[in-house]
């Protein structure tokens, strides 16, 4: 400790500020805000430029440099409060390095505070972390609205299951569904003359011969948005589908994945990990309602309100993976399904219940949702995953027509 004290005492005032900013950046990083070394330099330059006088200016100056996303604002706020708490912040920093309990918070803390606090004192906690016993509740084909806040360990996947999933994924033929964009690219049989290339190539011959070059439409893969039900009645399948979605995410740039049971979680970033095991572990870490009850209506409402306009902006294909066993199949569910249907290009409902030969669209939830989907497909084995790939390539099929299922019961 004595050497550290000496460093602090000897350093220039500006040097101490720099040191603190570096520590603060590290705390932000631990709290989950991506802060690079460049941002630290920027912060020092900004503080110098602003000539900070008040605490508020100091706050907003650092905010301007470190925060690059709206949702990071609340994390930054908490980290700032904890870190620059008057007099106490240095002691707290030192507490991180000593094996003793962190000081107790003075008052009730807002929700994000817990996360930031955990991040700041992570080194301390991890040593004493206990092995938590997992309680496995088999809630297969039962629906409960009770929220089971339990984190499911992906290590429980049996060897056979993993082999089957990997097998399916390795044989996956990736969809070739392509959308025309409004951009043009050089094209042999295009419809627009590319004057720039034409002129340049004509200069080769001194402008005597003018060879026409053409531009044609450029195509792109449409984005995919997957909404995966992870409630108890789906628990046998959701892991496999996550593997599938990871493979799709890996191969295509624009895939967004959301998990829902009783609440909606965006796991797109977690699935971007290259290694499937790491990606799935990251997923399970971010989900709180694994194998719990299901509220399809309210989850869809949350998606429509918070995410639809951000991820469905350019003609997305939506994969809705759920068994449709919703207890509260009311007007809300129909309304939200309708809104989802109207804001995407294609809505494909994948239902593992279709594995039963005698399946009939009788459950109320299913009857409510069916009129609003474009395709209704089974997904329960490798064959059905393969046929999904074909469906994503743009081929429909009689099995997929949702109206046929409704007629069969009526």
Contact positions vs another protein (CB under 8 A) = 34, 36, 38-39, 42, 45-46, 49-51, 56-57, 60-61, 63-65, 67-70, 73, 181-184, 195-196, 199, 202-204, 206-208, 304-305, 309-311, 313-314
Cβ nearer to another protein, comparing 127 with 310: 310
Q: How far is the CB of 314 from another protein (least distance, A)?
A: 7
Separation between Cα atoms, residue 92 and residue 80, nearest integer Å:
13
**Rounded to whole angstroms, how far apart are CA atoms 245 and 313?**
20
Nearby residues of 206 by Cβ (< 8 Å), 6 or more positions away: none
> Which CB, 298 or 384, lies closer to another protein?
298
For every residue of 340-402, DSSP letters joined together read HHHTSSEEEEEEGGGGSTT--TTSHHHHHHGGG-SEEEE-SSHHHHHHHHHHHTT---STT-H
What minimum distance in Å lies between the beta carbon of 404 and another protein? Answer: 30
CA 166 to chain centroid, in Å, comes to: 22
CA dihedral angle for residue 58, residue 64, residue 68, residue 69, rounded to 10 degrees: 80
Nearer to another protein, 68 or 140 (CB): 68
Nearer to another protein, 122 or 181 (CB): 181
Q: What whole-number distance in Å separates Cα of residue 357 and Cα of residue 404?
A: 15
Instruction: Label residue 271 exposed, middle or buried (CB < 10 Å: 0-12, 13-18, 19+).
Output: buried
- Residue 31 near residue 114 (C-beta atoms within 8 A): no
Nearer of residues 166 and 204 to another protein, judged by Cβ: 204
Q: Which is nearer to another protein, 328 or 338 (CB)?
A: 338
Please state the closest distance from residue 199 (CB atom) to another protein, in A: 6
Whole-number minimum distance, CB 68 to another protein, in Å? 4
Chain centre distance of CA 27: 23
Structure tokens, 371: 């009129």
Nearer to another protein, 171 or 342 (CB): 342
- In whole angstroms, how close is the CB of 45 to another protein at the nearest point? 6
Question: Which residues are registered as beta bridge partners of 61?
Answer: none
CB of 240 to another protein, least distance (A): 28
Residue 31: both structure tokens together: 């709290």
In whole angstroms, the minimum distance from the beta carbon of 70 to another protein comes to 5
Closest CB to another protein among 1 and 208? 208
DSSP 177: -
Dig out the tokens for 59 from the structure: 């706050």
Sequence-distant (6+) residues with CB within 8 A of 23 are: 83, 93
Check if the beta carbon of residue 246 is closer than 8 Å to that of residue 275.
no
- Closer to another protein by Cβ: residue 301 or 325: 301
Location of structure tokens 């740039």: 253
**Least separation in angstroms between CB 202 and another protein:** 7
- What crossing angle do the helices spanning 276-286 and 235-251 adopt, rounded to 10°? 120
- Shortest spacing between CB 210 and another protein, in angstroms: 9
């Amino acid at each position: 400790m004595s050497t550290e004290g000496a460093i602090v005492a000897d350093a220039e005032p500006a040097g101490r500020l720099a040191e603190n900013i570096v520590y603060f950046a590290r705390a932000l990083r631990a709290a989950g805000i991506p802060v690079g070394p460049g941002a630290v330099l920027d912060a020092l330059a900004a503080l110098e430029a602003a000539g900070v006088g008040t605490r508020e200016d100091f706050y907003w100056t650092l905010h301007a440099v470190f925060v690059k996303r709206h949702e990071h604002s609340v994390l930054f706020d908490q980290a700032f409060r904890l870190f620059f708490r008057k007099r106490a912040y240095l002691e707290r920093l030192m507490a991180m390095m000593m094996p003793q309990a962190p000081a107790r918070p003075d008052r009730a803390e807002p929700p994000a505070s817990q996360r930031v606090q955990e991040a700041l004192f992570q080194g301390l906690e991890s040593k004493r972390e206990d092995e938590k016993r997992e309680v496995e509740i088999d809630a297969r084909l039962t629906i409960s609205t009770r929220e089971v806040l339990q984190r499911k360990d992906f290590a429980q996947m049996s060897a056979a299951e993993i082999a089957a999933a990997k097998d399916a994924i390795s044989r996956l033929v990736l969809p070739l569904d392509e959308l025309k964009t409004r951009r043009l690219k050089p094209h042999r049989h295009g419809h627009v003359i590319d004057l720039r290339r034409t002129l340049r190539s004509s200069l080769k011959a001194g402008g005597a011969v003018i060879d026409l070059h053409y531009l044609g439409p450029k195509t792109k893969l449409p984005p995919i948005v997957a909404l995966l039900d992870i409630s108890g009645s789906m628990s046998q399948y959701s892991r496999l589908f996550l593997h599938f979605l990871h493979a799709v995410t890996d191969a295509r740039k624009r895939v967004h994945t959301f998990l829902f049971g009783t609440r909606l979680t965006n796991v797109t970033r977690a699935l971007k990990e290259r290694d499937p095991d790491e990606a799935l572990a990251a997923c399970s870490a971010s989900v709180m309602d694994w194998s719990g009850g299901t509220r399809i209506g309210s989850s869809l409402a949350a998606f429509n309100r918070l995410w639809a306009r951000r991820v469905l902006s350019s003609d997305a294909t939506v994969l809705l993976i759920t068994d449709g066993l919703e207890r509260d199949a009311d007007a809300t569910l129909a309304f939200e399904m309708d809104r989802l249907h109207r804001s995407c290009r294609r809505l494909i409902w994948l239902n593992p219940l279709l594995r039963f030969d005698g399946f009939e669209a009788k459950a109320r939830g299913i009857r409510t949702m069916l009129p609003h989907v474009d395709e209704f497909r089974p997904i329960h084995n490798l064959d059905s995953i393969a046929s999904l790939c074909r469906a994503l390539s743009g081929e429909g099929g009689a099995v997929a027509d949702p109206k046929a299922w409704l007629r069969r019961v009526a």
